[in-house]
Amino acid sequence: MLETLLEPLQYSFMQRSLIVAIVVGIICAVVGSYLMVQRLALLGDAISHSVLPGLAIAYLMGANIFVGAFVAGIISTIFINLIRTRSNIKEDTAMGIVFSAFFALGITLITTIQKDTKIDLNHFLFGNILGVTAADVRDTLIIAFIVISVVVLLYKELLFYTFDKLGAQAVGLPVNLLDLGLMMLIGLTIVASLKAVGVILVLSLLITPAATAYLLVERLHQVMFLGVAIAVTASIAGMYLSYFYNLPSGPAIVLVTSGIFILAFLFSPGQGVFTHPPSNSGQIAILKELKGLILANRR
Amino acid sequence: MNGTAAIAINNLGVYYRTVEALHNISLEVLPGKVTGVFGPNGAGKSTLVKAMLGLIPVRVGTVLYDGQPLQNCLEKVAYVPQRSQIDWTYPVTVWDVVMMGRVRKTGWFRRFSTVSHRQGMEALAKVQMEAYKNRPIGQLSGGQQQRVFLARSLAQEADIFFFDEPFVGVDQKTENIIFNIFHELADLGKIILVINHDLGESITNFDELILLNKELVAVGDRKEVLQEENLYRAYGSKVTFFSEMSSHLAA
C-alpha cells in the first residue's frame, strides 16, 4: 500500500506537480472564501477567462507569462468597473461582455502564434500540471507567500469590509484600497492556478472548497481552514487518480472537489439535505423537492 | 470627555447623477440629545447621513464637527447601517461582529488587545447578548441582530452615533433596550442621530427632531417640530401621528 502511494513520488515531475497542486489548492480556498461571501463567484470566472490575451502577449514578448496574465486580469476588472459605473448596465452583464471579449481575443492570439511557436492552446485552457518546471514551482510559492501574508495581515480589516462595506467606510477604513487589495489577491491566485487547472476550471478550485466548508462551519477563518483542508485532500487525491488511471489532472482534482461538496451538501449536520429537513413533516427533503417539481409542472 | 461639540451642516446639497436628492440643508446636531431624522420614503434621510459621513459625494456644502470636516474625524463615528445592507448569511458570529467595532482603534497588522476584548464583552453585556456570543448572526432574531450592531457601536467608544432605521423588525424588548442606551449615551454628551419613520408613540423618546423632505422642513425641539403644518409640509395631506396632547388627556 505504502509502496503504491510512494511510487509516483520517485518521478521529479510528479513531485513538482504535487507541490503546485497543493499550494494552488491552499490559496484558492483562502481567496475563494472572500469571493463566495462577497457573491463575486462570477468575477472569479470573468478574471480567469480574461487573463488569456495577457498570457499570449507575454509569450510573444518573451516576458513572464504570470505578469502578462496578471496585467490582463487587472485591465479586465477596470473595464468591468468602467461599464458598470458609467452606464446603467449591471455588474454581471458587464462581466459577461468583458470576459467573453477578452477570452475571444486570447484564443485568437494564441491560435495565431501557435503556428510559429510550440505552445498549445489546450495547456492554457485546461492546464498542464505535469509540465510544470522548477521555475513554475518557485513562482507559485512566491505568489502563495504574498497571498497568505496579505490575508493574515489584513484579516480583521477584510472581514469588516467584506461583511459591512458601509460600516467599514464610515469608520474611515480605506475601502477602495481594501477592494483593490482583494482584486489583486484574486488576480494573483488565478494566475498561479493556470498551470494546474487552466482558465476554465480554476473557478471550481476557487469556490467549491470554500462553499463546501461554508456548509460545515460558521466563521470565516474556519471556512478558510476547512476549505484549505478540503482543497489539499482533493489536490492529492486528484493527482493520484490521474497518475494511476491516466486521467487528465486538472479535471480529476475538480471532480474530487465537487464530490466532497456533494457529500457536504447531502450530509452537513447543520444544513444537509438528508440531515436537516426544512420542515418537521418527517418527509425526506429531497423527495419533497421532487414532488414539488412534479406538481409545479402539472399545473 | 471631548464629546461636547456639535455637528454643523451648512448648505448641504446632494445629487444622484442629475437628480437632486437633498437641497440646501443647514442645521446643527447637538450633543447630549437623542435626535431623530424623520420624513417620508425618498425624503433623503439615509442620503443625509451618508453624505455627512462622506459615504456618497457631496455637491455643495460643509459638514463640520468641532470646527473640522466630519470626514476627518471618522474614527469618532459609529455607524449602524440599515438591516437590508447586511448579508445575514455571512459566516460570522456575534463576537466577530462586535469586535469589528475595535478594528479601527486596534490599527493595522495588530491583534485585538485585552482592553478590546473587555470592551467587546462589556458592550455585549449592555445589550443583554452575552449568552449569544458564539452564535452565528444568521441564527438570531431581527431584534437580537440589531442589538449586536448596537454593541458593535458601543465597543467602538465613539463620540458620534448614527443609526439607520434601527427599529425596523425589532421586538418591544429590543426597542426599550436601544432607547435606554441612546439616553445613557446622550447623558454622556454624545451625539446620537437616528433615522426613523415611525411617527407612533416611540417618537416621545427623541429630544430633537429633524423633519426632511428633500429639503429641511423643520428642526429643533420635538414639540416644536411636531406641528401640524410641519408634518403637512413633509408628508403631504394624509398623516396620523402620535399626539402627546391626546395621550395626556387619556391618562
Does the residue B231 lie in any domain? Answer: yes
pLDDT at A146 over 90: yes
Kindly state whether A180 is in contact with chain B, defined as any CB-CB distance less than 8 angstroms: no
Q: Indicate yes or no: CB of B108 within 8 angstroms of CB of A217.
A: no
Mean of the pLDDT values across residues B220-245?
79
Residue B176 pLDDT > 70, yes or no? yes
Q: What is the pLDDT of residue A138?
A: 94
Return d(Cα B162, Cα B145) in angstroms, integer: 17
Query: Minimal Cα distance from B100: which residue of A?
Result: A160
Cα dihedral A153/A201/A183/A224 (nearest 10):
-30
Write the residue in B86, B108, B156 that is nearest to A164 by C-beta. Answer: B86
Residue A287 lies in a domain: no
Sign of dihedral through CA atoms B166, B168, B174, B175? positive
- In terms of Cα–Cα distance, which of A37, A34, A16 is closest to A189? A34
Instruction: For residue A172, give the chain B residue with the closest CA.
Output: B74
**A-B contacts at Cβ under 8 angstroms:** 82
Residue pair B156/B105 in contact (Cβ under 8 Å)? The answer is yes
Shortest Cα–Cα distance, B151 to chain A (Å): 14
* Alpha-carbon gap, residue B82 to B198, rounded angstroms: 15
CA distance linking residue B239 with residue B200, whole number of Å: 11
Contact list, B87 vs chain A (CB under 8 Å) = 37, 39, 163
pLDDT at residue B247 is higher than 60:
no
Full residue range of the structural domain in which residue A79 is found: 2-268
Given this model, what pLDDT does residue B32 score?
A: 95
- Nearest C-alpha neighbor of B193 from the set B22, B38, B14: B38
Please give the Cα distance from B196 to B43 (Å, whole number): 12
Which is it for strands B19-29 and B7-16: parallel, antiparallel or unpaired? antiparallel
Q: What is the mean pLDDT of residues B6-15?
A: 93
Computed over every residue of chain B, the mean pLDDT equals 90
Please report the residues numbered 206 through 225 in chain A whose beta carbons come closer than 8 angstroms to any beta carbon of chain B.
214, 217-220, 222-223
Is B192 a member of any domain? yes
Instruction: Please report the pLDDT score of residue A113 as a whole number.
Output: 85
Residues of A in contact with B96 (CB under 8 A): 159, 219-220
Residue B22 lies in a domain: yes
Any domain includes A298: no
| A158, pLDDT greater than 90 | yes
Tell me the average pLDDT of chain A: 89
Q: Give the CATH number for residue A166.
A: 1.10.3470.10
Asked if A171 lies within 8 A of B77 by C-beta distance, the reply is yes
Is A91 or B93 the better-scoring residue by pLDDT?
Answer: B93
For residue B28, the cross-strand partners are B8
Q: In what order do the strands lie in the sheet with B60-65?
A: B19-29, B7-16, B60-65, B68-69
**Nearest chain A alpha carbon to B75:** A171
Of the candidates A221, A214, A203, the residue with the CA atom closest to the CA atom of residue A272: A214
Please report whether residue B96 resides in a domain.
Answer: yes
pLDDT, tens only, A245-297: 999 999 999 999 999 999 999 998 877 888 876 655 555 666 777 777 777 76
pLDDT for the residue B248: 44
CA distances from A73 to A42, A107, B71 (A): 14, 15, 33
Residue A209 carries which side chain, given as an amino acid letter? Answer: P
At residue B57, does pLDDT exceed 50?
Answer: yes
Q: Which of A154, A171, A218 is nearest residue B91 as measured by Cβ atoms?
A: A218
Q: Is A270 on the interface with B (CB under 8 A)?
A: no
Minimum-distance CB partner of A170 among B74, B109, B112: B74
Residue B251 has a pLDDT of 35
| Interchain proximity B92–A163, CB inside 8 Å | yes
Give backbone dihedrals phi and psi of B89, rounded to 5 degrees, phi first.
-95, 0
Residue A160: pLDDT above 90?
Answer: yes
pLDDT in tens, B126-156: 999 999 999 999 999 999 999 999 999 999 9
Length of chain B: 251
pLDDT band at B250 (very low <50, low <70, confident <90, very high): very low
Using CA atoms, how far apart are residues B48 and B69, in angstroms rounded to an integer?
15
Q: Touching check for A181 and chain B: CB below 8 Å?
A: no
* Dihedral over Cα of B99, B102, B103, B106: its sign: negative
Q: Return d(Cα A105, Cα A100) in angstroms, integer.
A: 9
Which residues span the domain enclosing B220? 7-250
Distances (CA, A) of A33 to A24, A164, A223, B232: 14, 16, 7, 50
Q: Cβ contact (<8 Å) for A170 and B103?
A: no
> Which domain CATH number covers B181?
3.40.50.300
Asked whether residue A9 is domain-assigned, the answer is yes
Which residues in chain B are contacts of A169 at CB distance < 8 A?
53, 55
Amino acid at A30: V
Q: Residue B51's closest chain A neighbor by CA?
A: A170
Q: Cβ(A191)–Cβ(A172) under 8 Å? A: no
pLDDT digits (tens, 9 = 90+) for B189-212: 999 999 998 888 889 999 999 999
Q: How far is A35 from chain B (nearest CA, A)?
A: 12
Q: Which of B82, B125, B126, B78 is nearest to B102 (CA)?
A: B78
Which runs of E-coded beta strand occur in B76-207? 77-80, 160-164, 191-195
Cβ-defined contact of A170 to B77 (cutoff 8 Å): yes
- Taking the Cβ of residue B160 and every Cβ of chain A, the question of whether any pair is shorter than 8 Å is answered with no
C-alpha B222/C-alpha B202 separation (Å) is 12
Could you tell me the pLDDT band of residue B238, with boundaries at 50, 70 and 90?
low
Closest CA to A256 of A242, A270, A276: A242
With respect to residue B1, please indicate whether it lies within any of the assigned structural domains: no
In which band, very low, low, confident or very high, does the pLDDT at A23 lie, cut at 50, 70 and 90?
very high
**Inside any domain, residue B26:** yes
According to DSSP, the residues that pair with B164 across neighbouring strands are B195
Task: Please give the residue of chain A at the shortest CA–CA distance from B136.
Answer: A218
Percentage with pLDDT > 90 across chain B: 75
| Residue A286 maps to a domain | no
Domain membership of residue A159 (yes or no) is yes
Q: Please give the helix or strand (H or E) that residue B153 lies within, else none.
A: helix B142-155
Q: How many CA atoms lie within 13 A of B236 on its CB side?
A: 4
Question: Cβ contact (<8 Å) for A171 and B103?
Answer: yes
For residue A182, is it within any domain?
yes
Nearest residue on chain B to A176, judged by CA atoms? B55
Is pLDDT of A115 > 90?
no
Query: In this model, does residue B181 exceed pLDDT 50?
Result: yes
* For chain A, percent of residues with pLDDT exceeding 90: 59
Write phi, then psi, for B163 (nearest 5 degrees).
-125, 125
Check CB contact of A166 with chain B, cutoff 8 Å. yes
The ipTM is 0.92
Pairing of strands B191-195, B160-164: parallel
Beta-carbon separation of B92 and A170 below 8 A: no
- Quick check: is B2 in a domain? no
Q: Is residue A247 part of a domain?
A: yes
| Total structural domains within chain B | 1
- Candidate from A58-67, B80-89, B218-227 with smallest mean pLDDT: A58-67
Digit-coded pLDDT (tens) for B96-110? 999 999 999 999 999
- Å between B112 CA and nearest CA of chain A: 9
Q: Is A292 inside any structural domain?
A: no
Q: What is the pLDDT of residue B93?
A: 97
**For the CA atoms of chain A, what is the radius of gyration?**
21
